[in-house]
Every structure is written in structure tokens, then in C-alpha cells.
Amino acid sequence: MNPKTNAAYDGHEEVVFIGDDALGYKGIIAIHSTALGPAAGGCRMWTYARDEDALTDALRLSRGMTYKNAMADLPLGGGKAVIYKMGPDRAACLRAFGAEVEKLQGRYITAEDVGATVSDMKIIARTTSYVAGIPKEEGQAGGDPSPWTALGVFLSIKALLGGSVEGRTIAVQGVGAVGRHLCQLLAGEAAKLVIGDVNRAALVRIEPLGAEIAPADQIHAVNADLFAPCALGAGLNQKSIPELGSKIICGAANNQLATEEDGARLVAAGITYAPDYVVNAGGIVMVSCEYLGESEQAVDAKVRAIAPRVMAVVEAGRREGVSPHLVSDRLVRAKIAAARK
Ligand code: NAD
């Protein structure tokens, strides 16, 4: 696999292929940019149809982290790891992965992402100190980032709906770690929930909140006030956009737009899209505060700054008649250019 011939390559600073045949694990660490600080971004543990798809994901996700961290005003660059083959001895694979992270000497900081847990991070921490997402003492930032991601998404949804979710219908696609916390926050303020997930067990956990269940492949089309994609990326595409049942989109999933043109398609359809990486920064805010030894109070304050930022780019997008993600992309590029100078 050659990163430079992959369509998702964007001048990444470094791409490291890792693995151990004896352990049966394989992965990729992609460092997109360290212009604003060490490249931080979680480790996705996932299987792909082709190895090249894992590379595409690592390249896209690490670039996304550069944008997310810059937009959240964090002193961090963007990186991401993907473990796309996990051997039978998971703990040994994770320790080997930690050793690879350590070799990068702080240029990359890892944490949880899809398929990874707090226990995984504790194992990785045996072989590297460049890891976050591990519970700390009372009052200190640390642990599972997903409740913070969910809080940032929830407050953004509330702002987009004019300050209240009461009685409003929210369609949530994917009720895993973030989606579950998001549903709890929404139900706590009397929103009506419709949920869809390919995993039946995940749905069952949310049902007691009074959520209605829609087929996973139809959740985007449910008639709702707002659609919250909280599963995997590329859910907003040429096929799904004409079928959307909501006029506002705001969720946690990374890389929601399948292509750049899909942003324009949403504008043409009169649909407001809150840029994923602006909305879903809560987890990385927590990771950053944990890494820098800050308090939980600091995390809370920084996560509460997300919704006003979302509203600012959405409103600028409306004024300019462009997708809000183009507004945030522009702000990030200016910030990185200034840092490089
Ligand atoms: P998770 O693995 O805990 O949950 C994802 C859920 O989506 C699972 O329940 C899965 O069954 C479901 N799903 C997968 N494919 C689906 C489909 N086609 N239709 C419906 N449901 C589907 O992951 P998570 O940590 O909750 O993350 C969710 C999304 O948010 C991911 O895109 C992730 O990259 C992004 N994100 C997560 C965090 C975080 O703090 N965990 C931070 C930023 C962004």
C-alpha cells in the first residue's frame, strides 16, 4: 500500500504501517499535521473489505483530526490509528501497538475510537505514555471521551433547534457509545427519539427511554426535526441525501459527507448541515485536557464552547450560500497557515 497514490492522501507528514505476523495484527498510524502540536486522534479497531480501505480511513480520519483539533482551539495536530486486523491475543496486540506509538516519541497521541474501549487504553498505556482516555482521579480530566462528545452534540442540537429539544423529534443513527449518551441527554429534556442501529443489543439498551425503533437502513429517511448521524462515516451521499427526512443534520459521526459535492447537494436541498468535526470535538477536548493534566471543569467549559462555534459557521454558511463545512475548513486553513509562519 502506498499512501501517496491513495485518493485520501493530503500531504500527510508521516504514515507508519505497523503489525506483527506472529500476533496476527496489522494497523496504520497516520500523522496528518503537527503544525499546531502533537498529532492527536483515537485508534479505530475495525475490519475492512480491503486493506486499502483501512488506509483510506486512516488518511481521511487523521486529516479530519487536524481540522477538528484546530477548530476546537486545541494545541494539537491531527493523527489517527487504525488496527484493521486484531490477533487472537488482543492484549498482546494492544501492547505491541503501544510500543509503536512510543517509537513516535510523542508525535502521535492515541485514545479510544470505534471498536476500542477504556480497558484497551489501559493495556496500551503499559507500553506507551502517549495515550489518553484513561480514568483519572476525581475532578481530573480522563476516561471515556464519548459522554463529552455526546454533550457537545447535544448542546449543538439544542442551539440549532432554537434553544430547546422538548417535544422535538430527533432521529439518531447509531446508538453505540456516543449515540447512547446523546439519547439519554435528549430524553432528559423531553425530546422524542427515533433510533436505528444494525446492532439489536444496542437498540434494546435505549428502548427504556421511550425511543421508537426504525430500520437501520431507513433511519435517515424518518420524518424528524433533526437527524443525528452517530454511526460510521459517508452516510450523507448522492443516494441518501434525496431521501433525508429532516431539514437539519447534526451528529457525532466522523466524515459524514461522502464527497465534497454532498455539502453542495445539502445546500441545494435546503438542508442545514452542522459540520461533523466542529460538532463532535467534545471527546478530543477531553483527551487534550487529560493529556495536559487539566480539570474536568476545564473540559466542561471547552465543550460548552462548541455549540456557539457550530452556530457561527452555520450562520456564515447561510449568509454566503455555501455549506458550513467550507466556512470551517477555511478558518482552519488560515489558522494552520498562521502557525506555519
Ligand atoms: P460505537 O462503535 O460505540 O457506536 C457506533 C454504533 O453505530 C454501533 O452501535 C453500531 O452498531 C452502529 N452502526 C454501525 N453501522 C451502522 C449503520 N450502517 N446503521 C446504523 N447503525 C450503525 O462508536 P462511537 O464511539 O459511539 O462513535 C460513533 C461515531 O462518532 C463514529 O463515527 C466515531 O468516529 C464518531 N466519534 C466518536 C467519538 C467518541 O468520543 N467516541 C468522538 C468523535 C467522533
Q: pLDDT at position 227, please?
A: 98
- Same-domain check for residues 114 and 204: no
- Same-domain check for residues 239 and 319: yes
pTM summary value: 0.92
- Same-domain check for residues 95 and 212: no
Q: pLDDT at position 341, please?
A: 82
Per residue in 171-227, pLDDT tens?
Answer: 999 999 999 999 999 999 999 999 999 999 999 999 899 999 999 999 999 999 999
For ligand 1, atom 43, the nearest C-alpha belongs to: 280
- Same-domain check for residues 32 and 152: no
- Same-domain check for residues 213 and 100: no
Q: pLDDT at position 189, please?
A: 98
Indicate if the alpha-carbon torsion angle 89, 94, 100, 103 is positive or negative. negative
Length of the chain: 341
Per-residue pLDDT at 340 exceeds 90: no
Residue ranges making up the domain that contains 52: 3-62+77-124
Atom of ligand 1 nearest to the CA of 148: 40
Residue 132 within a domain? no
Residue 288 within a domain? no
Tell me, in angstroms, the distance from the centre of ligand 1 to residue 252's CA: 8
Atom of ligand 1 nearest to the CA of 150: 40
Per residue in 64-77, pLDDT tens?
Answer: 999 999 999 999 99
- Same-domain check for residues 94 and 169: no
Residue 270 within a domain? yes
The CATH number given to whatever domain includes residue 98 is 3.40.50.10860
Pairing of strands 212-213, 108-109: unpaired
> Cβ contacts of residue 289 below 8 Å, gap of 6+?
141, 295, 296, 298, 299, 302
- Same-domain check for residues 230 and 89: no
- Same-domain check for residues 7 and 98: yes
Question: Which positions are catalytic?
Answer: 80
Tell me, in angstroms, the distance from the centre of ligand 1 to residue 57's CA: 14
- Same-domain check for residues 112 and 257: no
The CATH number given to whatever domain includes residue 314 is 3.40.50.720
Rounded to the nearest 10 degrees, what angle do helices 296-304 and 306-320 cross at? 20
Tell me, in angstroms, the distance from the centre of ligand 1 to residue 98's CA: 23
- Same-domain check for residues 111 and 222: no
Number of domains within the chain: 2
Residue 290 within a domain? no
Establish how many alpha carbons lie within 13 A of residue 221's alpha carbon, considering only the half-sphere containing its beta carbon.
9
DSSP for residue 257: B
By most ligand atoms within 8 Å of CB, the mutation choice from 232, 236, 285, 288 for ligand 1 is 232
Residue 15 within a domain? yes
Nine cell digits for residue 6: 491513495
> Cβ contacts of residue 183 below 8 Å, gap of 6+?
172, 175, 193, 195, 206, 209, 211
Per residue in 222-255, pLDDT tens?
Answer: 999 999 999 988 899 999 999 999 999 999 998 8
Atom of ligand 1 nearest to the CA of 178: 26
Helical segments of 17-89, H only: 51-71
Cα 41 vs. chain centroid, distance in angstroms?
Answer: 9
Ligand 1 neighbours by CB, cut-off 6 Å? 112-114, 145-146, 149, 173-179, 196-199, 202, 216, 230-233, 252-254, 280, 283
CA distance 150 to 332: 23
Q: pLDDT at position 71, please?
A: 96
- Same-domain check for residues 272 and 328: yes
CA distance 220 to 235: 9
DSSP for residue 144: -
